[in-house]
Amino acid sequence: MTDVNKSAWNGPAQRNSSDTSPIKGTDVYGRPIEWNTSVYATGGIVNPSLSHQNRLKIVDETHMGGSNLQIRNVSRSDQGLYICHSTYNGSVTSGRFVLQQKINKLLSVGFLFSYLVYPSNMIFINETKKHILNGIENSTMRIRCSVHSGNPPETLLLRRNNTIVKNGTHGRIEYTFKATKLDHNVKYTCEAYSSLLKQPLSRNVHINIKYKPLVSIMDSMTECISEGATKSLCCKVDSNPASISTRLVNGSQDIFVKHKVQNICYQIDKVSRYDRGNYTCIAENEIGSASTTIILKVKFPPDIHLDYKNFTIHDELRKIQCKPEGFPANYTYGVWEHQSEFNEHIRNLNSTDNGTLILPRITEAYDEYQDSGNYICMATNGVPNKHHFQQGKAFIVSQGPPVFVKQNSAFQYGAIGKQMTIRLYILSYSKIKCTVIRAVDPITDVGNVDKTFIKSLKVVDMFHGKNITVNGKEMLFFFGKLEQKHFQVYNITVCNEFGDKTYTVNLVSTDVIDTDDNMATGKTSAAVVACLIVLAAIILVCILGLAEPVENVMYQSTQQGQNDMQSSPASTLLPGDDSISDIGSSTLGTIRQSMESRLNYADVVFEPSSAQQASRIIGLEDRTVYADVDVSLVALFSPETRSDTSSSEDDFVYVDGIENYIEKRETNN
C-alpha cells in the first residue's frame, strides 16, 4: 500500500503506559465518559512498548493513506476509544471507534463496535454565494439547514438573531413562517452540537425580503400654517427593491414625479388658502405600491358670504344668514349694518350667536320696502387681514307695492295755453303694471293726458328715519295745452304685482288774474317778493364778492295807481326741485312781460373791498333793516356773463331759503 506512513493509530491506554491523554466522549450507549488513550501505531509500525503488541497488526487496505488496525484474541482490556489519523495529499482525516463489552440478560459476554464521526458539510438550502436567502413579503418562507450527520448523532438548533426558533436531529432542520418586512436583514444561525466537538458546528445566513414601499411623513401628518408663510412637505420612502417612482399628488393632480429616490420634498412659498388640502405621496416598486397623506391646513381670515332671498310683503320671517369661510372655523360676529344701495348708513342691527340677522317687524306692512338695501355682516376668526373683522355685503330687495318717494311735490304749476308736465318720482322693485291719473272732480272732463316713464334715476326717500338715495323712476304726465279746467286736484295711481299706491297732486295756475278780489293779495305778494329778492341779492353779493360790480335787483311796487297792481309771481316758486322747468319758456316770457309792465327796480351795487366794515340795506325812513353785507368776502368762482336781451332757464337763481328767484331785466320805457 502507498502512503502508509501517513497514518497513525491511538487506542485504549494500557497499564504502565506513560504517554496517555484523556479524551471526553460517549460510550456505545450514549453515556458520557472520559477515555484515556495512548499511541498504538505510527506509519504502519505498532508501538513496541505496548504489552499486547503481538496481538496488534496494521493492515493496508486503501490507496489514499488509510489503514486498518487488526486485534487478535480480543479481551476486556481492549475495550475503549480508537482514533485513526490519515494524511493524503496534505489533507488530514480522522475517525473514531469505540470497542465496548456487552453483557446480555443471559450473562453472555460480547463486544460492541461503534464508528465515531464528526458532523460536517453544513449548508442552508437555496442560499446564495453571499449567504443570503430571498423571500417576498406576505409569502411563506422555509429556512432549511442540512448537515452530514456524525456518530454519535449531533443536535441541531436554529436561531433567529440570538433566539432559538427550532431544534432537531438527524442532519436536517426546517423552520417555516410568513415573511414580512420585519424579517428583512434578519440573521439565522444553524448550529450542530456533538460530543466529539469542542465548539458546535455553525453557519449563518441573512434574509432578504422584497416588500412594497412603506411611505411615511417626515413631519406631522397634519400641518397647520398661517397664510403667507413658507412650508415644505416631505415624504420618506422605505422599499425593497427601491421604488420605481414616487409621486406627490394634490387631489387628482400630480405635482411632481421622482424616480428611485428615498426622500422627496415639495416647498410652497407664500402659502395661501388655496394651497390647503390633502397632499398624497404614492410610491411603487415591483412588489406593489403604498401611499400616505399630509393634511395641510392654512389659517386665513374668513371670506364672508350672505345666504338670503329677496323679501316680499307677504313674508312673516325676514332673515339673512352670515356665512364666513375661513380657518379656524370659530367665528365671532359683530353688529350688522344696513346701508342704502349707494352706501349711505341707515341703521345698525344685532346678530345672533350663529350669525343670523332677523329683521325687526314693521307695524305697517307697506313700509317693509324700507328693509331694502345693502346688508353688511362683520365676523372674525382671530386671524387678522388689515382689519380684525372681515366684511361680507349683499344687496337685498324687499318687494311690495310702488312707493311715492319723499322727493315728490304735491303742488305743481302750469300756465293757461301752455304745455305742462306733472312729474312724479316712484320706487318699485318689481315691474310697473299700471298708471292711472284721475281728476278728483268727476264732473270736469280734463281730456286726454299722455303719460310715460323715463329711465331710472336717483331719487330721495326716507328709510327708517334716514334720508337716503335710491334708484327710482321718474313718471311724466303730459298736458298738451292747459285750460282753466285743468287746474284742480288729481289722484295718480301706480300698481305692480304686489298692490297699488295713490298720490294726490294739486295743479296750480301761474297766471296773474286782474280782479278787485286779488288786489290785497297782490300788494302783499309784491312786498314778499321784494323782500325775498333783496335777501337773494345780499346772499349773491356775499357769494360773488369779486372785483366786478354785481347787479342786485330789488322789486318794488310801481308808482302807478294801486288799482293797477297785479298779484306777484310768487306762486311760481316751487319747493326744492326743478319742476318749474316744465313750464315752457314762452310761459316764462309771458310772466316776465306782465311783471315788466307793473314793476320797476333799483340797482344796489357793492364794490369789493378789504375793509371789515359791513354795508347795510335798509327800507324807507330806516324802518326796516333788510341785511348787512360783508363786501370783503371773495367768491370761489366768477359770475357768468349774461345777455341783457336773452331769457332762458339760466335766469333761475337757487339760494337756500329762496326758491326760483326770477331775475328782473331793465327795460326801456
Mean of pLDDT values over 53-62: 79
229 three-state secondary structure = coil
Residue of 663 and 232 predicted with greater confidence: 232
* pLDDT at residue 112 is higher than 80: no
Q: DSSP letter for 607, please.
A: -
Q: What phi and psi values does residue 340 have, to the nearest 5 degrees? A: -75, 170
My answer on whether 432 and 536 are in the same domain is no
User: How would residue 68 be classed by pLDDT, with cut points 50, 70 and 90?
Assistant: confident
Residue 668 in any domain: the answer is no
For 332-346, what is each residue's pLDDT tens digit?
A: 999 999 999 999 999
Winning range, highest mean pLDDT, from 350-354, 362-366, 591-595, 609-613? 350-354
Taking residue 403's Cβ as centre, other Cβ atoms within 10 Å add up to 22
State the pLDDT at residue 653. 39
Q: Cis omega before residue 152 (within 30°)?
A: yes
Helices H / strands E in the chain, number of each? 2, 47
Residue 669 in any domain: the answer is no
* pLDDT at residue 643 is higher than 90: no
Residue 342 structural domain: 308-399
For 538-562, what is each residue's pLDDT tens digit?
A: 444 443 443 333 333 333 333 333 3
Contact between 292 and 264 under an 8 Å Cβ cutoff? The reply is no
My answer on whether 179 and 100 are in the same domain is no
My answer on whether 378 and 407 are in the same domain is no
d(CA 425, CA 406): 9
Domain count, the chain: 6
* pLDDT at residue 572 is higher than 50: no
For 523-539, what is each residue's pLDDT tens digit?
A: 444 444 444 444 444 44
My answer on whether 293 and 230 are in the same domain is yes
Residue of 389 and 222 predicted with greater confidence: 389
State the pLDDT at residue 103. 59
Average pLDDT, the chain: 77
Contact between 76 and 16 under an 8 Å Cβ cutoff? The reply is no
Q: Give the C-alpha distances (Å, rounded to integers) separating 206 from 132, 161, 193.
A: 5, 10, 21
Kind of pairing, strands 373-380 and 336-339? antiparallel
My answer on whether 69 and 192 are in the same domain is no
State the pLDDT at residue 253. 86
My answer on whether 249 and 319 are in the same domain is no
State the pLDDT at residue 43. 80
Residue of 125 and 448 predicted with greater confidence: 125
CATH number at residue 170: 2.60.40.10
Winning range, highest mean pLDDT, from 101-105, 385-389, 571-575, 636-640? 385-389
Residue among 199, 197, 150 at smallest CA distance from 170: 150
Contact between 51 and 18 under an 8 Å Cβ cutoff? The reply is no
My answer on whether 92 and 195 are in the same domain is no
My answer on whether 77 and 144 are in the same domain is no
For 20-49, what is each residue's pLDDT tens digit?
A: 778 887 777 778 888 888 898 888 888 888
State the pLDDT at residue 263. 87
User: In the structure grid, which three cell numbers stand for residue 156, read together?
Assistant: 441541531
Residue among 352, 313, 312 at smallest CA distance from 336: 352
* pLDDT at residue 235 is higher than 80: yes
My answer on whether 341 and 450 are in the same domain is no
My answer on whether 38 and 150 are in the same domain is no
Contact between 173 and 164 under an 8 Å Cβ cutoff? The reply is no
My answer on whether 641 and 526 are in the same domain is yes
d(CA 488, CA 505): 8
Kind of pairing, strands 398-399 and 311-312? parallel
Q: DSSP letter for 151, please.
A: B
Residue 136: strand pairing partners: 210
My answer on whether 467 and 524 are in the same domain is no
Q: Return all residues near 615 (Cβ < 8 A) that are at least 6 apart.
A: 606, 628, 629, 631
State the pLDDT at residue 77. 85
